[in-house]
Amino acid sequence: MVELKESIENHINQISEYTATPGKGTTRLTYSQEDLKTRNYLKGKMREYGLQVREDGFGNIFGKLEGTLKDAPSVMVGSHFDSVPHGGSYDGPAGVVAALEVAGLFAKNNLTPRYPLEVVALVEEEGARFGGGLMGSRGMVGLLGEGDFQNLRDQNGVSTVEAMTEIGLDPSLPKKRDPKTMKAFLELHIEQGPILEEKEIPIGVVEAIVGLTQLEVTVKGQAGHAGTTPMDRRADALVAAASIIGRLPELAREAGEGTVITTGRLNVFPNGANVIPDQVVFSVDIRSGKEENVLNVIEKTKTLVHSYSKNRIQTSLEQLLYIQPKELNRGIRSLLKEKSEALEIPYCSINSGAGHDAMVLSDYTDVGMLFIPSKNGLSHCPEEWSDSEDIARAVGIFYETAKSLTEAE
Ligand code: GLV
Ligand code: MN
Ligand code: MN
């Protein structure tokens, strides 16, 4: 266990060096120099662990241990390796590192699987650079088409294809993966909430993941001089946007049952202290375990936003992402519990309030997910921390589960 724990800590420490904001958390935007450094590290480790490495046309990384069966579907283990701005070291990498170590145990024990084992490291789960989120997994299953992918731009107008090319990736590589090549997907993730820590239980077997949507609202007004334009002659886009945002929490509270709504990104144009803003673009993230709540709050948000289109203010709304709540595979959930029991690792069932690549892949293959505790329930911030011992526990459970799913001997 000590060797495994050490190896996990080394990976996490090394990957956390690849940040654009040293000392202020992890900022690892997709197709950035930090992405490239992490990618090279992961590919190197995959090769060291005896895996054949390939990338797809999105830059997702796959490290494969061939099985004895020819052209058989893979048991995939993994997560994403991008981050939010000023995030932590564990959201994403914990799952990729766990997957690497599962492959490491196959290598160490000279196991030959019947079905292939694949370590998967996905891009742009957070959507921090190109918006929406879950891009790597959505792309991989064909939910994000070539045209839509190419049209995505970051805040500076750089396209996905330009950004990929900049770090030497090849966007013309195959993108869509045939679901017939996937036998199962296992993802370890930090809980990002307080439940496991409070219960003092090291492992959560995820039963279901919330439904979520991401909207982008644009408010347009008229720019003008901050000193010379009388208050009754203004069409201030930021005043309108602020008023809308201030009314959003009420919509989630009305829906109840744990429904949440967040505006976390807001861009003001032209963003000058003495200029009346003529445009504001902001995000609205809505989530609930019950799909009807998400749909309900989307409708109410649309009505609210459109009601502000008056007096020289124009509003519009675009839906960047919509995913229904997902129940994870029953068989895999049972297998994860069975393996935890056999290893005498305490576990409980848990639901996920965060979105994960697992929810996208669950429509295409059998998916199972484990959570480990997050210190003080914190995530998406530099203080994010999880115990490498818990990651090691999850590796043990996934190793046994992957052995069963690949029928390794
Ligand atoms: C990913 O962290 C999400 O839940 O948005
Ligand atoms: Mn995240
Ligand atoms: Mn994540």
Question: pLDDT tens digits, residue range 55-68?
Answer: 999 999 999 999 99
Tell me, yes or no, whether 80 and 202 share the same domain: yes
The annotation places the binding site at 80, 91, 126, 189, 380
Question: What mean pLDDT is reported for the chain?
Answer: 97
Q: Which of 302, 136, 174 is nearest to 294 (CA)?
A: 302
Q: Which of 238, 237, 266, 263 is nearest to 252 (CA)?
A: 263
Tell me, yes or no, whether 119 and 160 share the same domain: yes
Which of 86, 213, 215, 356 should be mutated for ligand 1, with most atoms under 8 A from CB?
A: 356
Indicate the length of the chain as a whole number.
409
Q: Which of 323, 348, 379 is the last residue of a domain?
A: 323
Determine the pLDDT at residue 70.
92
Q: Rg of the chain over CA atoms, in angstroms?
A: 22
**Residue 277 Cβ contacting ligand 1 at under 6 Å:** no
Taking the centre of ligand 2 as the mean of its atom positions, its distance from the CA of residue 356, in whole angstroms, is: 8
Tell me, yes or no, whether 157 and 60 share the same domain: yes
Taking the centre of ligand 1 as the mean of its atom positions, its distance from the CA of residue 360, in whole angstroms, is: 13
Point out the ligand 1 atom lying closest to the alpha carbon of residue 287: 4
In this predicted structure, the answer to whether residue 84 has a pLDDT above a threshold of 60 is: yes
Tell me, yes or no, whether 303 and 332 share the same domain: no
The mean pLDDT value for 97-102 works out to 98
CATH code (residue 292) = 3.30.70.360
For residue range 6-45, list pLDDT tens digits in order.
999 999 999 999 999 999 999 999 999 999 999 999 999 9
Report residue 2's pLDDT band, with 50, 70 and 90 as the boundaries: low
DSSP letters, 313-370, are -EEEEEEEEEE--EEPPHHHHHHHHHHHHHTT--EEEEEESS--HHHHHTTTSEEEEE
Q: Quick one: residue 281, left, alpha or beta (phi over 0 = left, psi -120 to 50 = alpha)?
A: beta
Q: Which of 288, 323, 358 is the last residue of a domain?
A: 323
Round to whole Å and give the CA distance between 164 and 161.
5
Round to whole Å and give the CA distance between 296 and 393.
40
CATH code (residue 173) = 3.40.630.10
Determine the pLDDT at residue 1.
54
**Residue 357 Cβ contacting ligand 1 at under 6 Å:** no
Determine the pLDDT at residue 245.
99
Phi then psi dihedrals of residue 397, to 5 deg: -70, -45
Ligand with an atom nearest the CA of residue 80 = 3
Round to whole Å and give the CA distance between 303 and 220.
17
Buried b (16+ CB within 10 A) or exposed e, 139-159: bbbebbeeeebeebebeeeeb
Round to whole Å and give the CA distance between 121 and 3.
23
Tell me, yes or no, whether 402 and 312 share the same domain: no
Tell me, yes or no, whether 315 and 332 share the same domain: no
Tell me, yes or no, whether 144 and 127 share the same domain: yes
Residue nearest to atom 5 of ligand 1 (CA): 355
Q: Which of 145, 124, 141, 146 is nearest to 133 (CA)?
A: 124
Point out the ligand 1 atom lying closest to the alpha carbon of residue 380: 2
Point out the ligand 1 atom lying closest to the alpha carbon of residue 285: 5
Tokens of 367: 């998916």
**Residue 354 Cβ contacting ligand 1 at under 6 Å:** yes
Tell me, yes or no, whether 60 and 187 share the same domain: yes
In this predicted structure, the answer to whether residue 397 has a pLDDT above a threshold of 90 is: yes
Tell me, yes or no, whether 134 and 24 share the same domain: yes
The annotation places the binding site for Zn(2+) at 80, 91, 126, 189, 380
% pLDDT > 90, the chain = 98
Write the CA distances from 282 to 98, 114, 248, 315, integer angstroms: 35, 49, 12, 11
Q: Where are the beta strands (DSSP E) in 158-278?
A: 182-190, 203-209, 211-220, 224-225, 260-262, 266-269, 275-276
Determine the pLDDT at residue 132.
84
Q: How many helices (H) and strands (E) does the chain have?
A: 12, 16
Round to whole Å and give the CA distance between 137 and 168.
21
Determine the pLDDT at residue 409.
65
Round to whole Å and give the CA distance between 9 and 192.
19
Lowest mean pLDDT across 19-23, 184-188, 404-408: 404-408
How many structural domains comprise the chain?
Answer: 2
Determine the pLDDT at residue 408.
73
Point out the ligand 1 atom lying closest to the alpha carbon of residue 379: 2
**Residue 132 Cβ contacting ligand 1 at under 6 Å:** no
3-state secondary structure of 115: coil
Tell me, yes or no, whether 372 and 317 share the same domain: no
Q: Which of 323, 354, 377 is the last residue of a domain?
A: 323
Q: Which domain holds residue 265?
A: 211-323
% pLDDT > 70, the chain = 99
Tell me, yes or no, whether 238 and 219 share the same domain: yes
The mean pLDDT value for 368-372 works out to 98
Question: How many of the other CB atoms lie within 10 Å of CB of 129?
Answer: 24
Tell me, yes or no, whether 337 and 291 share the same domain: no
